[in-house]
Structure 1
Amino acid sequence: MVITKLLLFVASVCICSAAGHEFFSSTDQVIPLVEEERTLLKLTHDILAEAENLESILEILKLFEDPAETINDPAAAYKLIKRLRSEWFAITSRRQRMLSCRYSTEGGNPRLILAPLKEEIEWDEPRIVRYHDMISDKEIEILKNLSRPYMTRSQTGSGTVSNIRISQSVFLTEDNIVVVQVNQRIADATGLSMETAEHLNVQNYGTGGRYEPHYDALDEQDDRIGTFLIYMNDVEIGGATVFPKAGVALQPKKGSAVFWYNLHKNGDVDLRTEHAGCPVLRGNKWVANKWIHEFGQEFTRPCSLSRWE
């Protein structure tokens, strides 16, 4: 995105200016980048929501009559970057209305009629949904007790131990009734088939544990279409799940779970779903992941030929 390039450009100018270099002296060289972004956005279905942000960004840039002087001052440059970023990720009134809470039976699922899901829309694009009270304290303790004896150092998608992921984990098969119940609850919440899903993956992050920015999608046949992440405890400090490209931070809340699609309907990886697990600064963090795959979802989430879906 051009705006992202603009922010990186401003940051690089700030650094180079400290060494005595100067890259531009007027907003004439900056505003065209934003105007180009405006043109590109007209090609997308998000133009109405994002146009308001671009207007604000243009107004901010016009306030700086002498960008060279601003960039030579690191503090001023930081404030400019912060304001631009804030405007770019600002929630417009249209998006605010979409971030709502509700009780959901997922289209009248018989298992949810008497106990509907407590559903909260955390973000709209990409769509991230949080389900409150998804798992009980008793079930959490059972999953922890099942996992502890078999936990080993977590691996990355390539099947190797890496410093980008500092945690312990284990896959739990459906040998225990609680695992069966949790998997069924995930199927009810998402409406997706669990036939080709991976086993429930329980993970523990100790103090300093983290998972650097990554995609859950593996870019392979029968890819991970969606991720269902269950928070099994509250974290004292740190441990948030963040989506840098969307500007979203999800705080762990015991018993809740979040779900998002890793792929567009056309099968392409949704680049906005890059996410990371922030370092645990105090305490520890327990989560359970269910990675759901494409095969078996042909009728519940049909493919699309559109490049925008």
Structure 2
Amino acid sequence: MARSKYVLPFIAFVAVGMAIGWSRSLLGFGLLFQLAFIWRLEEFSGTNNHWENDKESALLRLGFECDYLKSIARPHLEISTVVDPKTGESIKSKVRTSSGMFLSSKDRQIPIIKAIEKRIAVFSQIPAENGESIQVLRYETNQYYTPHHDYFSDAFNLKNGGQRVATMLMYLNDVDEGGETIFPQAGSSECSCGGNKVKGLCMKSRKGDAILFWSMGLDGQSDPNSLHGACPIVKGEKWSATKWLRQGAYS
């Protein structure tokens, strides 16, 4: 899975959310800055440095984490749900047709899972205790998730940890065709979403890549421009893992 000796899985994060709604030039600058930051870290990923004694990094360099997440999730997949904005409860809906599961508290004690969550905390700069359990999702042919926001509009879901600040979306496999992540508000250019041309920014699923985007702006307000969705699968299937990050500690 690793593309080179020193590339750590799930490090190729693309900072999207904070730049959505800005000018296209600023978006490009933000992406380049983030990638430059990542490569700067990788310059120090060889011998005689602090990564060398990082046991979590050693686990991730094995390159098995994508397949591992899929394997522990597969037996527990259930039809995905959405949050009812009126009641805050999880309900089934035609806007989301995937299947998924959440890692349990026991799963989160597994060394490789702890290593992934530590890496997410490092690159998001949000404490690990502010994160919800990782949700693993599988999309099969013609399945999708219509554009939506990750932040809550009900009071019930804000009681534990406050609002969702950011989302880390990790891709666990390469998709044959379709299955892109679409950000409709990110510019006016056209991109391919499930085989159709649409306006916005489309991110193709590539095993080991991840997207970090923000649901709240620098002013602390929920950002409607963080609208995003999962394009329909045209061929094959898509596996992903999502980590939602809160304002405060989540239990």
Q: Tell me, yes or no, whether TM beats 0.5.
A: yes
1:120 equivalent in structure 2:
none
The residue type equivalent to 2:130 in the other structure is T
* Contact 1:136–1:255, Cα closer than 8 Å, also in 2: no
Q: Please state how far the C-alpha of 1:265 moved relative to its aligned partner.
A: 2.9
Q: Secondary structure at the match of 1:218?
A: coil
Q: Please state how far the C-alpha of 1:99 moved relative to its aligned partner.
A: 3.5
Q: Kindly indicate whether residue 193 of structure 2 is the aligned counterpart of residue 267 of structure 1.
A: no
* Aligned equivalents of 2:115, 2:95: Cα separation in 1: 32
CA spacing shift, 1:200–1:99, aligned 2, 3 Å: closer
2:5 equivalent in structure 1:
none
Q: Any residues of structure 2 matched to 1:77-226 within 5 Å, and which?
A: 91-92=24-25, 96-100=28-32, 101-102=35-36, 103-105=39-41, 114=51, 137-158=63-84, 159-173=90-104, 174-219=108-153, 220=155, 221=158, 222-226=162-166
* Contact 1:237–1:283, Cα closer than 8 Å, also in 2: yes
The residue type equivalent to 1:272 in the other structure is N
* Aligned equivalents of 1:261, 1:157: Cα separation in 2: 19
1:84 equivalent in structure 2:
none
1:122 equivalent in structure 2:
none
* Contact 2:147–2:230, Cα closer than 8 Å, also in 1: yes
Q: Please state how far the C-alpha of 1:150 moved relative to its aligned partner.
A: 0.8
Cα deviation digits, residues 79-110 of structure 1 (max 9, x gap): xxxxxxxxxxxx34x6544441322549x9xx
Cα deviation digits, residues 218-237 of structure 1 (max 9, x gap): 13430110000000011111
Cα deviation digits, residues 233-272 of structure 1 (max 9, x gap): 1111100101111121111111011101101133321111
* Aligned equivalents of 2:166, 2:29: Cα separation in 1: 24
Q: Secondary structure at the match of 1:291?
A: strand
* Aligned equivalents of 1:166, 1:135: Cα separation in 2: 33
Identity between Structure 1 and Structure 2 (%): 28
Structure 2 residues not aligned, in runs of 5+: 1-18, 53-59, 85-89, 187-199
1:42 equivalent in structure 2:
none
The alignment of Structure 1 onto Structure 2 pairs a total of residues equal to 187
CA spacing shift, 1:283–1:171, aligned 2, 3 Å: same
Q: CA RMSD in A?
A: 2.7
Scaled by the length of structure 1, the TM-score of the pair is 0.55
Q: Secondary structure at the match of 2:119?
A: helix
* Contact 2:182–2:203, Cα closer than 8 Å, also in 1: yes
* Richer in helix (by share): 1
Q: Any residues of structure 2 matched to 1:217-296 within 5 Å, and which?
A: 217-219=151-153, 220=155, 221=158, 222-246=162-186, 247-296=200-249
Q: Which has the larger radius of gyration?
A: 1
The residue type equivalent to 1:243 in the other structure is F
The residue type equivalent to 2:211 in the other structure is V
CA spacing shift, 1:95–1:190, aligned 2, 3 Å: closer
2:6 equivalent in structure 1:
none
- Show structure 1 runs of 4+ deviating over 6 A: none
* Aligned equivalents of 2:40, 2:164: Cα separation in 1: 25
2:14 equivalent in structure 1:
none
Q: Secondary structure at the match of 2:221?
A: coil
* Contact 1:166–1:211, Cα closer than 8 Å, also in 2: yes
Structure 1 residues not aligned, in runs of 5+: 1-45, 51-90, 116-133, 298-309
Q: Secondary structure at the match of 1:165?
A: coil
Scaled by the length of structure 2, the TM-score of the pair is 0.67
Q: Secondary structure at the match of 2:82?
A: coil
Q: Secondary structure at the match of 2:91?
A: coil
1:5 equivalent in structure 2:
none
Which has the higher mean CA deviation after the structures are superposed, 283-292 or 190-199? 190-199
CA spacing shift, 1:99–1:266, aligned 2, 3 Å: closer
